[in-house]
């Protein structure tokens, strides 16, 4: 199986879980933050969604320059899900077109002329496209718990999720 097909299988699983977390975000509480140094709920939720764009950036380009990054303004759960779904489709298209050779190429994250890091695309896909997503999704789960919002299941039932529904999903 190609590297891209392996990642696509994993991305499909993670995207399904991630979408359920994003669907639970109460945008009427988007300004909530658990601590002063934390991101707001709204910004964190948007970041979780926008990580999907990194697949396309990684596979179709040789770098991502954050100097021109403008966070997207989203104000409803519906807008968030539409944004996520669109980026996910782009990620799937990029993976469908990717060759194993592409994953061996170097990729850099920059801020203008400053190179923040350079890694092989396979490592970027694992660490920044998948692990980074899972990390921030877990943070989002903590925010939801603190707000009294039922937390969706991830890799097994959460205290709030129906076990039957979880088993049917897998």
DSSP sequence for 98-146: --HHHHHSEEEEEETTEEEEEEEHHHHIIIIIIIHHHHHHHHHHHHHHH
Read off the pLDDT band of 159 (50, 70, 90): confident
**% of residues, the chain, pLDDT over 70:** 94
Q: What is the mean pLDDT of residues 152-167?
A: 72
- What 3-state DSSP class applies to 92? helix
User: In the chain, what are the domain boundaries?
Assistant: 3-169
What is the predicted pLDDT for the residue at 155?
Answer: 87
- Residue for token digits 């977390």? 21
Q: What is the mean pLDDT of residues 157-170?
A: 62
What is the predicted pLDDT for the residue at 164?
Answer: 44
Alpha-carbon span 58 to 78, nearest angstrom:
27
Distances (CA, A) of 42 to 18, 48, 88, 117: 15, 10, 19, 28
Read off the pLDDT band of 165 (50, 70, 90): low
What is the predicted pLDDT for the residue at 68?
Answer: 86
* pLDDT (tens digit per residue) in 5-33: 999 999 999 999 999 999 999 999 999 99
Handedness of CA 46, 140, 40, 75 (dihedral sign): positive
- Residues 6 or more apart whose Cβ sits within 8 Å of residue 47: 39, 136
Distances (CA, A) of 76 to 25, 125, 166: 9, 29, 26
Domain 3-169: give its CATH architecture.
Up-down Bundle (1.20)
Q: What is the mean pLDDT of residues 65-93?
A: 95
**Residue 49 near residue 15, CB atoms below 8 Å:** no
Alpha-carbon span 152 to 158, nearest angstrom:
6
């Amino acid at each position: 199986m190609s590297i891209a097909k392996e990642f696509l299988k994993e991305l499909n699983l993670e995207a399904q879980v991630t979408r359920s977390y994003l669907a639970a975000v109460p945008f009427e509480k988007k300004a909530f933050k658990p601590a002063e140094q934390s991101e707001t709920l709204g910004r964190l939720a948007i970041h979780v969604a926008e990580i999907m764009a990194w697949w396309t950036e990684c596979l179709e380009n040789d770098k991502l320059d954050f100097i021109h990054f403008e966070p997207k303004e989203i104000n409803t759960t519906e807008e968030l899900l539409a944004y996520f779904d669109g980026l996910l489709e782009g990620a799937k298209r990029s993976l469908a077109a990717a060759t194993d050779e592409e994953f061996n190429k170097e990729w850099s994250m920059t801020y203008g002329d400053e190179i923040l890091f350079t890694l092989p695309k396979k490592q970027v896909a694992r660490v920044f496209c998948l692990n980074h997503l899972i990390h921030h999704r877990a943070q989002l789960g903590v925010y939801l718990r603190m707000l009294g919002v039922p937390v969706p299941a991830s890799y097994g039932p959460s205290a709030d999720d129906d076990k039957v529904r979880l088993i049917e999903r897998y």
